[in-house]
Amino acid sequence: MSRPTLGNAAARRLFLARHLLSEPPQGLAKGTALLKVIHDLGFVQLDSINTVARAHDLILFARRPRYRPAALKRLYEKDRALFEHWTHDAAVIPMDFYTQWHLRRTRDAAKLLGRWKDWQRHDFEAQMESVLAQVRAEGTVTSSDVGQDEPRSSGGWWEWHPSKTALEYLWRSGALAVAGREGFRKRYDLTERVVPAVLHDPANAPDTAQTIDWCCDQALARLGFATAGELAAFWAHISPAEARGWCAAELAAGRLEEVNIEAADGSLRPAFLRPGWADDPALTRDPPKRLRVLSPFDPVLRDRKRAARLFGFDYRIEVFVPEAQRRYGYYVFPLLQGDRLVGRVDMKAHRDADELRVTALWPERGVRWGKGRQEAFEAELQRLLPLAGVSQVCFADDWLRDPV
């Protein structure tokens, strides 16, 4: 029997709905309302680059324009409603999910020990007891507080002294937790002083099978449709083989259905959905026409290949590309309007000059940048000003470019 097909327009609508971008960008943006946004997304990636606003702040702002960074800091550091760990990268995650990271912490404990010894070329394991003793006695510490008698390398942020490596290892494996950040520097404390006892007690941790089931089920709920590889990559702490096994079992039990997803170029690719997907109201609900600036690390764009297939939007962040070789710019923001990614903009908040400076904007091919779209773009820039910490917008000469 041939597989049914989910058309491209409907697939985009479903995908955007699951990422909270098919509803009007409005509503409360602090406390339990903000926590629900993060819960529904699953996590929010943290990133230090602050050309306009940091990635986590822009991700939340795109969905709740009343959001301000202090609300996230309160949830994380005072209310202890979030914890920090790794998905595909560093992220803040609802504290209710903490037990589901037991498998990740256990696997990291085994995997990173030898890998980091080879990477850093020092015996950080010998420093772990002294680092733990210091945290136990002094309370929260940053990486600059430990191993003060150890030589610091000038080779880059990835070259850690032994006690810094021990600190990171103790966090990744579960003995320590991140209690918050100063600027963007992590503050570490004993896990029992950060995470509720019922959550960090190993006796309450799910087993491997339960974790695989949770990871796949919850990833699918947040993606709408996915391949086994995409399910594994969502939280990034189970393997593709484990996700494939889960999909096979769910498919055999009638709890999954395989459907062809139409890409932007008309090609078809199979993916899994839950039965009853054809009745999902998101398939026919048009997202708002309001134009939104997205972070390069927005959940919609995190999987670059999926974004290219679904939206025809080929995006590469060029932070690490030499300037002369960049197609666009150092840190270029995608622009979403309705169910389309309509362009990308190179802009930066110059806080010393109190202005958000737009250097260049490239509409996507086939997108007309007329008066209405320009007005929508300028309205979004005005909304961004408080988040960027400036009060005015400035456009460079020849800022509107032809598609590349």
pLDDT tens digits, one per residue of 240-289: 999 999 999 999 999 999 999 999 999 999 999 999 999 999 999 999 99
What confidence category does residue 388 fall into, taking pLDDT thresholds of 50, 70 and 90? very high
Mean predicted confidence (pLDDT) in 158-173: 89
Question: What local confidence, expressed as pLDDT, does residue 347 receive?
Answer: 98
Question: What local confidence, expressed as pLDDT, does residue 162 receive?
Answer: 87
Report the percentage of the chain scoring pLDDT > 70. Answer: 98
CA–CA distance, 273 with 285 (Å, rounded to integer): 18
Q: Is the pLDDT of residue 157 over 60?
A: no
Q: Is the pLDDT of residue 136 over 70?
A: yes
Which contiguous run of DSSP H or E holds residue 333? strand 332-337
Question: What local confidence, expressed as pLDDT, does residue 123 receive?
Answer: 83
By DSSP bridging, strand 82-86 and strand 392-395 are: unpaired
Report the percentage of the chain scoring pLDDT > 90. Answer: 89
Q: Is 70 exposed, middle or buried (0-12, 13-18, 19+ CB in 10 A)?
A: exposed
CA–CA distance, 130 with 146 (Å, rounded to integer): 9
pLDDT tens digits, one per residue of 194-220: 999 999 999 999 999 999 999 999 999
Q: Residue 266 carries which DSSP code?
A: S
Question: What local confidence, expressed as pLDDT, does residue 160 receive?
Answer: 84
Q: Is the pLDDT of residue 343 over 60?
A: yes
CA–CA distance, 255 with 244 (Å, rounded to integer): 14
Scan for tokens 């997205």, then name that residue.
294
